[in-house]
Amino acid sequence: MSASHGPGRDEDFDPRAIPIRPAATVLLVREASQGMEVFMLRRTLSAVFASGMYVFPGGRVDDVDGTDAISKCCTGRNDVEASALLRVPNGGLAFWVAAIRECFEEAGVLLATHNATGQVVQFTDPAVVSRFASARHRIHDGDLSLIDFCHQEDLTLVTSDIHYVSNWITPLGERRRFDTKFFLARAPEAQDPLHDDKETIDSLWVRPEEAMEKCEAGELAMLPPTIGNLRFLLEHDSIDAAMAAAQQVGVPTPVQPRLRYDADGKVTGVVMPWDQGYDQLEG
């Protein structure tokens, strides 16, 4: 949700013609010696959207994420239940599937279990590590679908422990706009996430408090949705507490920041719904 383009820069640019695309993002958390940590990635400096920013794993919801075939590979939540949580007629489960797929593509973590044993996927066998690493990149590149990989490995995607915590919509005026659902999930113990060196160039586990301190110090550049979700984590002293709170969120109120411009059409600020002057801005 960068503020990089104003309507005054391009007379042919119609901000209301920009489609709002569905997206899903995952706050992947783990318990560490000093408390809860969340996994963050730095987007490549050449990215068109949010270049150089520290974000959580996530991306656009693809058409394949909402197919009946892939829903049959999910356990713990069906499309009716997911759609009810999102308050949409149907297709809600696609956001959970996209969250899992993007987490695998961007961080190398797959929230899934083996059908034969019911055990969570573990990366303790070098052969498994190599096979799943190859699949991760092939799925990202479109050479392999997540559903085909699930069939190959006899896996089920686990959606029951992925909780919907917030909804952010890119401001009117941006060249790319997303309706992003943010989810909270516990990281599997036997999987170590790592950036892909393509869309992301760095990664770290960090306590929410430390992430906020580094952001305020200018050491980690973040967008408002990232900061907002870190603040949610800051309210809880453990993963169990955060997960319990996430289950009680219900249907989050969408947050859509608005852009403030100067007389020349240059963006001068991003205004939140709770900020003074929000209602006087176009959105």
82-86, 119-123, 175-179, 200-204: the lowest-pLDDT one? 200-204
- Comparing CA positions, the residue from 94, 93, 112, 116 lying closest to residue 104 is 112
Please tell me the distance from the alpha carbon of residue 169 to that of residue 254, in angstroms, as a whole number: 7
Q: Is the pLDDT of residue 38 over 80?
A: yes
Q: Name the percent of the chain lying above pLDDT 70.
A: 94
Please tell me the distance from the alpha carbon of residue 247 to that of residue 121, in angstroms, as a whole number: 24
Q: Is the pLDDT of residue 5 over 80?
A: no
pLDDT tens track for 246-261: 999 888 999 999 999 9
| Residues forming a β-bridge with 186 | 29
Q: Name the percent of the chain lying above pLDDT 90.
A: 71
Residue written as token pair 């590149």: 141
Assigned token pair, 9: 């820069």
When pLDDT is cut at 50, 70 and 90, the band that residue 14 belongs to is: confident
* pLDDT for res 114: 95
Assigned token pair, 80: 């009716």
Please tell me the distance from the alpha carbon of residue 42 to that of residue 195, in angstroms, as a whole number: 8
* pLDDT for res 258: 94
Write down the mean pLDDT value for the chain: 90
43-47, 86-90, 236-240: the lowest-pLDDT one? 43-47
Q: Model pTM?
A: 0.90
* pLDDT for res 227: 96
* pLDDT for res 263: 87
Q: Is the pLDDT of residue 24 over 60?
A: yes
When pLDDT is cut at 50, 70 and 90, the band that residue 48 belongs to is: low
Measured CA distances, 153 to 22, 71, 112, 133, 276 (Å): 28, 16, 10, 13, 53
Cα dihedral across residues 116, 117, 121, 126: positive or negative: negative
Q: Would you tell me the crossing angle of helices 93-107 and 146-153 to the nearest 10 degrees?
A: 80
Measured CA distances, 107 to 111, 114, 137, 166, 195 (Å): 11, 20, 11, 21, 5
Q: Is the pLDDT of residue 174 over 70?
A: yes
- Comparing CA positions, the residue from 205, 213, 244, 219 lying closest to residue 231 is 213
pLDDT tens track for 49-106: 667 899 999 999 999 899 989 989 999 899 999 999 999 999 999 999 999 999 999 9
Q: Is the pLDDT of residue 198 over 80?
A: no
Q: What is the mean pLDDT of residues 133-138?
A: 94
- Segments making up each domain of the chain, as ranges: 20-251
* pLDDT for res 200: 83
Which numeric CATH code is attached to 20-251? 3.90.79.10
Q: Supply φ then ψ for residue 95, to 5 degrees.
A: -70, -40
* pLDDT for res 7: 43
